Amino acid sequence: MNTDRLMQLALEMAGLDEIPGDSAIHHPGEGIERILFGIDLKGSELKMAADLRFDCAISHHPVGGLSTLRFHRVLERHVDQMISAGVSRETAEETMAATIESRRILSSMTNYDHDPSVARLLDLPYLNIHTPLDEIGRRRMAEVADGVDADATAAELIDRFYETFGEFRNAETEIEVHVGTPTNRLGRIAVSHGAGTNGGYPVAKAYFDAGIDTVIYIHCRPDDAKKLRDEFGDAKTLIITGHIASDSVGINPYVDRLRDEGLDVTVFSGIIPA
Ligand SMILES: [Zn+2]
């Protein structure tokens, strides 16, 4: 196994034809058999991986290099997702423009080479795979949401998530309703995930204004949820599925695939078993 093939497998599973901006091979390598895989895996964990004789380290979250410098590009996925949910292209682009530009500038301010430079010194193959695995998770959650009747309540969809995904049952966090109430009718649902990070207030507002009744985020800042509550009251619903549990929903099918390929994969740093 090599790092190119590891990335390619994730892209294939997610139906993507190129490496998204928040994912990258930071130090290439081949002859890989033993992999350490974490939601966050940076410099100190690279040293640990080398000490424990792993021959490749995979992080889910971006860890510098191009995955930081090009991160803003995956935020464009919010635009595509909003358009497919019925938001006009003009509104969708306007909603994201300032966020994308400020993210580009903030990323350019970071010491982007810190963690990749550790991998090079250790000569340890190192990559991070973010959006492809989040896209796998988004599709899995959207499939469940599509199977629930529009007249069902938010609580019923949450129950269905718990029934379907061991990651949610095994997590120490709960699936929560941050806008609206658990007895709200679901109506039209948008699963907003797999676009770098949550879209906060402006993206949820754009969905609600376009007639979506229930938005699903994996996380949302409290001040963004408060702004939505102040504006929409209980008329709309925002369900928060939980960051690490939801990341795991997308990661586990990929880990299973690697093990099917005969690789020895050790998971840590938050990955919750199904
Ligand atoms: Zn994450």
Q: What value does the CA radius of gyration of the chain take, rounded to a whole number of Å?
A: 19
What percent of the chain stands above pLDDT 70?
Answer: 100
Residues 19-60 have pLDDT tens digits of 999 999 999 999 999 999 999 999 999 999 999 999 999 999
Contact present, 181 and 233 (Cβ < 8 Å)? no
Residues 86-106 have pLDDT tens digits of 999 999 999 999 999 999 999
Band of the pLDDT at 80, cuts 50, 70, 90?
very high
Task: Say how many Å lie between the CA of residue 50 and the centre of ligand 1.
Answer: 24
CA-based nearest residue to 215, from 198, 195, 197, 196: 198
Task: Say how many Å lie between the CA of residue 151 and the centre of ligand 1.
Answer: 31
Residues near ion ligand 1 (CB < 5 Å) are: 247
pLDDT at residue 79, rounded to an integer: 98
Task: Return the beta strands (E) in the chain as ranges.
Answer: 24-27, 34-38, 56-59, 126-128, 176-179, 189-191, 214-217, 237-240, 264-268
Residues 103-138 have pLDDT tens digits of 999 999 999 999 999 999 999 999 999 999 999 999
pLDDT at residue 190, rounded to an integer: 98
Task: Say how many Å lie between the CA of residue 199 and the centre of ligand 1.
Answer: 13
Task: Say how many Å lie between the CA of residue 232 and the centre of ligand 1.
Answer: 27
Give the global pTM: 0.97
Task: Say how many Å lie between the CA of residue 248 and the centre of ligand 1.
Answer: 9
Band of the pLDDT at 272, cuts 50, 70, 90?
very high
